[in-house]
Amino acid sequence: MADGHGATSAGDRHPDPAAVSDVAHGPHEAVLPEAVAMYSHPDHTGWSDSSARAVLQLMVESVAEMIGFEVAALSVVLDGELVTMAYTGPAEFREYLGQADPVSVLDPILEQAETWGRFRFLAAEDYDGGFEGHWVTMASEWADGPDSWNPLDVLMGFLTDDDGQLVGVLSVDRPPSGRRPDAAQRSLLERYAAQAERAVITAFEREEMVQQIAHAEAARRLVRSASMPAQASLEAVLSHTHQPLVEGFGAAGSWIQVLEPHGAGRGYARAREGAVVELSDRVVDLARLLAPRLWEEQQVLVIAEGVEPSLSAASGAGPLLDEARRQLEELGLTSALAVPLGAGAECLGFLVLVRRAQDPQWSPVEIDSALQIGHDLGTALMMAQALERERNLVRELQQLEDYRSRLITTLSHELRTPLTVISGNLEMLGDLDLEDGASRYQEAMARGTNRMQKLVDDLLLLARVSDPAHPLVRVPVDLQDATLAVVSLVGSTAQAKGLTLHVELEPTELVVAGDPSEIDRLLGNLVSNALKYTPTGGTVTIAVSRRTDAVIVRVSDDGLGISDEDQVGLFRAFFRTTNPDALREPGTGLGLAIVATIVERHAGEIQVSSRLGAGTTVTVTLPAA
């Protein structure tokens, strides 16, 4: 006879419920390995890897056939219980396979049985037949004789890992010969038990690999979700990662401390349900001390009562570790898993997952997975911090731009009044009968005043069209009429300079939605620039056409042209070309900056095609109304 999870069973008694929670009793403890506890399944079906069960099934069938037993079964230790993974024998006894017993049902065997290598043999005449658990008698009669097999005989092999921890039980029953195993059979049994032991350990290792892959996939999902929206702030990443962490690791809470070069940084500590947890400054100091050391060694740290950290990273942190243990106790917690967060060589933070007394200890697989999450979450933190720095920089640049616009506007308004007074007085002087020398001075001052007024007007216009608070009121603007109006204004200038002015207007609707004064200024600046930088005898062409949902304005000249280097800064305010011939022409350096800003306000595009000494073409594309 044998246990219903290691072979066959006798009787239908169930173990004492109080004994189920015990791993072992007595001096011969069958100790449950820590690494095994996490693989138990509520329905006791065993591993997720079905191939492991197939190997174990082949093993018990080989034992039964090659050594000579009608019944053989192999059970493994899952979460402190014996769960049958493989069985060969009468079908009517399979009903016992799904009934788990605690490992403690093996204690009487360990205490009373004779040791045969890995096997224990307990003769029927040496015990009273009463064991806790699911046991059954395979036969009611047996042959006489000193070496006859008794249905109440127990023969099972205890399979252990390299540390001597119990991982499974191989049990056999009903030899066809009706005899107890002789020396030769016992030797074969020992060899098969050794193979079964290795098969069980390998199965656990395979299952551990499956768990590691599952944790790695969970980590990838965590990182994807943590760094999901590009606009997510660092605070959003911290809050978003809490729930996946506590659920994925069965933790009672999580704490992420983001480290900063100067200061404690930001912390996010929450209980499992999301309640805020207050942490002492000394615990935060511990995070700042340990995180860089742990990251450098690529290690995690288990903090629990009675667990002494073996890592060199924890050296010198004894008082702070004691403080951490006290804080855990105050919060009703018993253990913590501390994980450094980083990317590359940089440590960015500290992750702590905590558990209560009723929770299992941290397994090696969880520790390995936590370290991998330290890398993944560290990358997410680095991205969030980089985005946050960029947002701060953009905000500062926007504030600087707003300040610049206000400054330009204020100065321009302040300059306009005295310039108007100066200009008026200069005009009055011009009406007087001045000597030739005084008249020249008056004319020079008038030209300078007009130039300053033009600069002030351009500055005010640039400030107005650059101001996001200044709305664009769109109305239909006919570019055909606007172009002809500009040509009529500059026609005399072109004629005086000896230039040919061509106008090409497509005979179709050339209407855009925009501000009429801004569109007029856009066209005026483009045509004036072309006329200014085209020598006598040159040609300037203004072409307006329609392309599906856009109106295209193209202003071309065969003038001085623009070098590739100058084209880079062409639309910057106050930009002046490096071409000496072009510098002889007066200008404020604001004309094309105003044009580019107006085009941008109207959701259009502007392009320049030019070659030094061969002319320039400026193309503006505006959405059609």
How many whole angstroms separate alpha carbon 192 and alpha carbon 116?
13
Dump the DSSP string for 295-348.
HHHT--EEEETT-----GGGTT-HHHHHHHHHHHHHTT--EEEEEEEEETTEEE
Select from 604, 625, 621, 488 the least CA-distant residue to 555.
Answer: 621
pLDDT tens per residue across span 221-255: 665 665 555 456 777 788 888 888 887 788 899 99
pLDDT at 177 over 80: yes
List the CATH number of the domain containing 156: 3.30.450.40
Given 184, 208, 232, the domain boundary residue is: 208
Tokens of 438: 């005084």
Q: What is the pLDDT of residue 24?
A: 28
- 491 shares its domain with 617: yes
Pick from 66-80, 270-284, 287-301, 541-555 the range whose average pLDDT is largest: 541-555
Q: Is residue 377 part of a domain?
A: yes
Range of the domain at 24: 2-208
Which SS3 state, helix, strand or coil, does residue 285 take?
helix
List the CATH number of the domain containing 531: 3.30.565.10
- 435 shares its domain with 539: no
For residue 183, which phi and psi values (nearest 5 degrees)? -60, -40
Q: What is the pLDDT of residue 15?
A: 31
Q: Is residue 230 part of a domain?
A: yes
Instruction: Identify the weakest region by mean pLDDT among 122-126, 434-438, 542-546.
Output: 434-438
Please give the C-alpha separations between residue 374 and each of 37, 277, 317, in angstroms, as whole numbers.
Answer: 24, 21, 21
- Per-residue pLDDT band for 3 (boundaries 50, 70, 90) equals low
Tell me if the pTM is above 0.75: no
- Per-residue pLDDT band for 621 (boundaries 50, 70, 90) equals very high
| pLDDT (mean) for 17-39 | 27
- 306 shares its domain with 418: no
pLDDT at 79 over 70: yes
Q: How far is CA 139 from the centre of its chain?
A: 63
pLDDT at 30 over 50: no
Q: Roughly how many angstroms between the first and final C-alpha of the chain, as a whole number?
A: 94
pLDDT tens per residue across span 369-424: 888 888 888 888 888 888 888 888 888 888 877 777 777 767 766 677 777 777 77
How many whole angstroms separate alpha carbon 316 and alpha carbon 338?
17
How many whole angstroms separate alpha carbon 514 and alpha carbon 520?
10
How many whole angstroms separate alpha carbon 21 and alpha carbon 40?
14
- 445 shares its domain with 484: no
pLDDT at 431 over 80: no
- 50 shares its domain with 117: yes
Q: Is residue 214 part of a domain?
A: no
- 49 shares its domain with 121: yes
pLDDT tens per residue across span 31-70: 322 222 222 333 344 465 567 778 888 888 888 888 888 8
| pLDDT (mean) for 317-327 | 75
Given 422, 439, 466, the domain boundary residue is: 466
- 383 shares its domain with 396: no
Residue pair 105/4 in contact by the 8 Å Cβ criterion? no
How many whole angstroms separate alpha carbon 594 and alpha carbon 461?
8
Query: What sign results for the dihedral spanned by CA atoms 301, 302, 303, 306?
Result: negative
Select from 160, 173, 71 the least CA-distant residue to 121.
Answer: 173
Q: Which residue has the higher pLDDT, 96 or 289?
A: 289
Q: Count of CB atoms within 10 A of residue 42's CB?
A: 6
- 518 shares its domain with 603: yes
Q: Which residue has the higher pLDDT, 547 or 6?
A: 547
Q: Is residue 293 part of a domain?
A: yes
Structurally, how many domains does the chain consist of? Answer: 4
Please report which helix (H) or strand (E) contains residue 504, including its range: strand 500-505
- 494 shares its domain with 565: yes
Q: Count of CB atoms within 10 A of residue 136's CB?
A: 20
| pLDDT (mean) for 91-100 | 73
> How wide is the angle at C-alpha 306 spanned by C-alphas 302 and 307, nearest 5°?
30
- 187 shares its domain with 273: no
| pLDDT (mean) for 88-116 | 83
Question: Residues of 422-443 as b/e, b for ≥16 C-beta within 10 angstroms?
Answer: bbeebeebeeeeeeeeeeeebe
Select from 223, 208, 221, 233 the least CA-distant residue to 351.
Answer: 223
Rounded to 10 degrees, what is the CA torsion of 170, 174, 180, 186?
Answer: -30
Please report which helix (H) or strand (E) contains residue 443, including its range: helix 436-466
For a pLDDT cut of 70, what percent of the chain falls above it?
81
Helices (H) and strands (E) in the chain, counts: 14, 21
- 26 shares its domain with 147: yes
Q: Is residue 213 part of a domain?
A: no
- 373 shares its domain with 398: no
How many whole angstroms separate alpha carbon 349 and alpha carbon 288?
8
> How wide is the angle at C-alpha 342 spanned by C-alphas 340 and 346, nearest 5°?
115
Instruction: Identify the weakest region by mean pLDDT among 23-37, 68-82, 295-309, 525-539.
Output: 23-37
Given 328, 358, 389, the domain boundary residue is: 389
